[in-house]
């Protein structure tokens, strides 16, 4: 699995960015120039834990945007599965970030579950230069914390020494 300090792989993926066929777009690492990117990989569409995460991250999309960060969700499902899933659920239809078809990218990142062959529940924070700055992976059955993702994003962007449980606005460490 790629980790901190590695360049995020070159990719070109179809993505669902709405609820109509016209909302199928292509995303590459050149998309969203100058922005931080928070990749939110999940195992499968039409499952149970995944929508809880996607919806909660969706509720905080403005908080990520305020930090100059683009959310990008993705799984090994294709863009039409993402579209059908979003069309089937009002809460997912409201998502304001794309869901990519990450079949190849998941392999390049090393986040395919060896038994199920689906994305692990992995998060990658990528800086504007395309370098991975944070990675988090949860068990397939355990959802992520949006608060923790934002806390780490703030800490990484602060470029300071941040103690345990540090939150934006608190004192950082000095040497």
Active-site residue list: 50
The Cα 105–Cα 132 span in angstroms is 14
Q: Where are the beta strands (DSSP E) in 17-128?
A: 24-28, 36-41, 69-75, 99-101, 121-126
The token duo for 146 is: 């949006």
Q: Which of 156, 118, 162 minimizes the C-alpha distance to 5?
A: 156
């Amino acid at each position: 699995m790629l980790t901190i300090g590695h360049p995020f792989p070159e990719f070109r993926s179809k993505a669902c960015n709405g609820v109509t066929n016209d909302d199928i777009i292509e995303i590459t690492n050149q998309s969203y120039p100058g922005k931080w990117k928070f990749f939110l990989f999940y195992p499968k569409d039409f499952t149970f834990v995944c929508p809880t995460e996607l919806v909660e991250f969706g509720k905080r999309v403005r908080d990520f945007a305020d930090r100059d960060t683009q959310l990008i969700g993705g799984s090994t499902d294709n863009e039409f599965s993402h579209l059908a899933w979003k069309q089937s659920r009002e809460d997912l239809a409201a998502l304001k970030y794309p869901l990519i078809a990450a079949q190849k990218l998941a392999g390049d990142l090393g986040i395919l579950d060896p038994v199920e062959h689906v994305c692990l529940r992995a998060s990658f924070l990528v800086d504007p230069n395309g370098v991975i700055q944070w990675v988090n992976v949860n068990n397939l059955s355990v959802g992520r914390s949006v608060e923790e993702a934002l806390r780490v994003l703030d800490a990484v962007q602060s470029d300071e020494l941040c103690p345990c449980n540090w939150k934006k606005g608190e004192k950082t460490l000095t040497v």
